[in-house]
């Protein structure tokens, strides 16, 4: 009784368009699909062509709706992609702009803060010279900065914190390049020792002593965290290498292109010094124990001077003379580096203020030990120099050998007839010896307290010994930093007293 399909050949053209994106054309469907007869129960047959046309019309409408939907979807997806791409581009541009702005601001911040310290140092120097004051001007400036910070901290703590944050980039810059400021005296060491007899040179090398004393015992307290300077990058290495090559070749073919030979040699001598420090700082720790970065730094400068002297035919001595001229109107690379020594002293005020709570808590150990070690260093050096028969002028020149070079040069300036180049060189050599052997000596003496180890190291081997000890014993670093500054301060104060200077000269003979 039910209608039945006479021919099933119609199934293919009906099903195919539903699953295939490529629908057959209407003309192809007409020619490919035969007529199909349906028989009903009343016996009548109907032509399937009408039904075929109806189904094809429905399929075309469905395909059209699907196509329009896909087109709308694709347009929406494209619009979404455009929005996403624009957003990413906008974010990337914004991030790049923000990064550039931060770098520009950081560079400006560094230049301004460092410029203020350098300007303050120059102003104090000129003022003290005009007033004929022999006391170290930078040391006076350090006291002033520390006093201002302490007053602000007690009255307006936020102002003291803001001042510390403002000068922190300059302090980190000085801390990062601090060993470079010791190098010029080592580079010109051949010129300094030229007029010194060989026997005297041996005696100077013999005069090495370390004073250690554990005064009192106080419960330890944690130190304030200190910011660390950033490591050197590959870009810095290649940039300074490029400067060295270009300036070396330029100075070789045009010896007075910058006006004088010292100014012309300045770029490649300065870059050789910096390159030596960067390379030396990147050496493994096991090598740096024996071959300190400052040795690598000085060696690279001497080798560059030797190479230039050989290539130009002038010899080594004139090039070393151009490295450190000690003439303000015609400075060399060494003069530029040593020009930061006053700023180093001024920066001590910020490190001392940073650890003011620690200084107050352990004042008895710190001040007593520093005073004793400073007195022992000065008078023992004078006594040993006399015992070994060293010339008085040379002995006086090496008196402040356990004091950082910035203040040691100020101390010897209080005496007559001293050799400042020899002073700086002996200070550096003392620091190198202390950096290599101070921990072994302290272990032999069974001194385990961080207070005693930190103060003894800084009091005898100043900055280089401090760096060596702090790498393995960070708990002793605050005491190293404090004693590093206070030893120079007490040494300067003691030698500023005429009676103390006369007593030292009496011991020297």
| CA dist list (Å): 195 to 40, 334, 464 | 133, 21, 28
In the numeric block, the tokens 């910058």 are attached to: 258
Where are the alpha helices (H) located in 388-476, listed in sequence order? 392-397, 405-412, 420-444, 450-472
* Cβ-proximal residues to 187 (8 Å cutoff; 6+ apart), any chain: 273, 298, 301, 302, 305, 320, 323, 324, 334
140: exposed, middle or buried (Cβ count in 10 Å: 0-12, 13-18, 19+): middle
Where are the alpha helices (H) located in 285-324, listed in sequence order? 285-288, 293-312, 316-323
pLDDT in the model for residue 474? 67
Which of 294, 320, 324 is closest to 306 using CA atoms? 320
* Per-residue pLDDT tens digits for 454-495: 777 777 777 677 766 665 676 676 677 778 778 888 888 888
pLDDT in the model for residue 27? 44
pLDDT in the model for residue 12? 40
Biggest CA-to-CA distance, the chain: 147
pLDDT in the model for residue 342? 85
In the numeric block, the tokens 């996403």 are attached to: 84
464: exposed, middle or buried (Cβ count in 10 Å: 0-12, 13-18, 19+): buried
How far is it, in rounded angstroms, from Cα 340 to Cα 493? 22
How far is it, in rounded angstroms, from Cα 110 to Cα 342? 17
**Residues with pLDDT less than 50, the chain:** 1-50, 54, 59, 61, 66-79, 83, 208-220
**Helix/strand/coil (H/E/C) assignment for every residue in 240-274:** HHHHHHHHHHHHHHCCCCCCCHHHHHHHHHHHHHH
Which of 378, 404, 401 is closest to 495 using CA atoms? 378
pLDDT in the model for residue 156? 93
pLDDT in the model for residue 333? 92
Report CA dihedral (377, 134, 114, 145) to the nearest 10 degrees.
80
pLDDT in the model for residue 197? 64
413: exposed, middle or buried (Cβ count in 10 Å: 0-12, 13-18, 19+): middle
- Tokens at 435, concatenated: 């950096």
How far is it, in rounded angstroms, from Cα 464 to Cα 167? 24
pLDDT in the model for residue 207? 60
Q: What is the DSSP string of 53-110?
A: HHHHHHHHHHHHHHHHHHHHHHHHHHHHHHHHHHHHHHHHHHHHHHHHHHHHHHHHHH
Interstrand relation of 37-39 and 45-47 (parallel, antiparallel or unpaired): antiparallel
* Cβ-proximal residues to 373 (8 Å cutoff; 6+ apart), any chain: 211, 212, 213, 402, 455, 456, 459, 460, 487
- For the chain, percent helix, then strand, then coil, each to nearest 5? 75, 0, 25
Identify the bridge partners of residue 308 per DSSP, sorted by sequence position.
Answer: none
Q: What is the DSSP string of 317-377?
A: HHHHHHH----TTS--HHHHHHTTHHHHHHHHHHHHHHTHHHHHHTHHHHHHHHHHHHHHH
Side by side, which strands form the sheet with 45-47? 4-5, 37-39, 45-47
Check if the beta carbon of residue 374 is closer than 8 Å to that of residue 209. no
Q: Quote the pTM value.
A: 0.68
- Helix (H, G, I), strand (E, B), or coil: what is residue 38? strand
Identify the bridge partners of residue 39 per DSSP, sorted by sequence position.
Answer: 4, 45
């Amino acid at each position: 009784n039910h209608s039945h399909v006479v021919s099933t050949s119609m199934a293919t053209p009906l099903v195919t368009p539903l699953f295939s994106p490529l629908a057959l054309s209407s003309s192809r469907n007409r020619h490919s699909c035969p007529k199909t007869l349906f028989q009903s129960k009343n016996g009548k047959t109907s032509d399937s062509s009408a039904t075929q046309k109806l189904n094809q019309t429905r399929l075309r409408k469905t395909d059209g709706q699907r196509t329009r939907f896909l087109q709308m979807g694709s347009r929406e997806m494209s619009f979404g992609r455009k929005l996403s791409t624009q957003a990413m581009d906008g974010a990337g541009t914004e991030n790049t702009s923000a990064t550039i702005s931060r770098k520009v601001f950081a560079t400006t911040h560094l230049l301004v803060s460092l410029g203020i310290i350098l300007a303050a140092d120059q102003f104090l120097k000129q003022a003290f010279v005009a007033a004929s004051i022999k006391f170290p001007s930078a040391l006076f400036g350090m006291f002033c900065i520390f006093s201002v910070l302490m007053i602000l901290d007690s009255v307006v703590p936020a102002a003291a914190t803001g001042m510390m944050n403002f000068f922190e980039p300059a302090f980190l810059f000085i801390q990062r390049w601090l060993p470079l400021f010791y190098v010029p005296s080592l580079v010109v060491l051949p010129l300094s020792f030229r007029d010194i007899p060989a026997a005297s040179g041996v005696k100077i090398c013999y005069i090495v002593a370390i004073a250690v004393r554990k005064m009192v015992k106080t419960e330890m307290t944690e130190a304030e965290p200190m910011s660390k300077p950033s490591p050197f990058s590959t870009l810095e290495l290649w940039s300074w290498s490029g400067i060295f090559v270009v300036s070396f070749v330029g100075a070789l073919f045009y010896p007075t292109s910058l006006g004088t030979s010292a100014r012309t040699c300045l770029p490649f001598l300065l870059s050789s010094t910096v390159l030596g420090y960067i390379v030396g700082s990147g050496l493994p720790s096991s090598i740096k124990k024996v071959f300190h970065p400052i040795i690598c730094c000085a060696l690279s400068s001497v080798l560059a001077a030797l190479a230039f002297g050989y290539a130009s035919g002038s010899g080594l001595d004139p090039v070393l003379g151009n490295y450190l001229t000690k003439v303000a109107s015609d400075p060399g690379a060494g003069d530029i580096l040593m020009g930061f020594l006053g700023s180093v002293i001024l920066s001590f005020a910020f490190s001392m203020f940073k650890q003011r709570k620690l200084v107050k808590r352990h004042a008895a150990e710190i001040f007593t030990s520093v005073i004793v070690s400073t007195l022992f260093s000065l008078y023992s050096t004078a006594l040993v120099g006399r015992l070994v028969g060293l010339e008085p002028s040379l002995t006086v020149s090496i008196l402040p050998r356990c004091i950082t070079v910035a203040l040691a040069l100020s101390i010897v300036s209080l005496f007559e007839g001293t050799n400042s180049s020899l002073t700086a060189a002996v200070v550096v050599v003392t620091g190198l010896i202390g950096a290599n052997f101070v921990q072994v000596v302290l272990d032999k003496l069974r001194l385990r307290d961080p207070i005693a180890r930190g103060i003894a190291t800084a009091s005898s081997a100043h900055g280089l010994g401090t760096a060596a000890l702090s790498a393995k014993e960070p708990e002793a670093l605050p005491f190293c930093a404090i004693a590093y500054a206070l030893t120079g301060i007490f040494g300067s104060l003691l030698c500023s007293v005429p009676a103390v200077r006369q007593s030292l000269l009496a011991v020297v003979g």
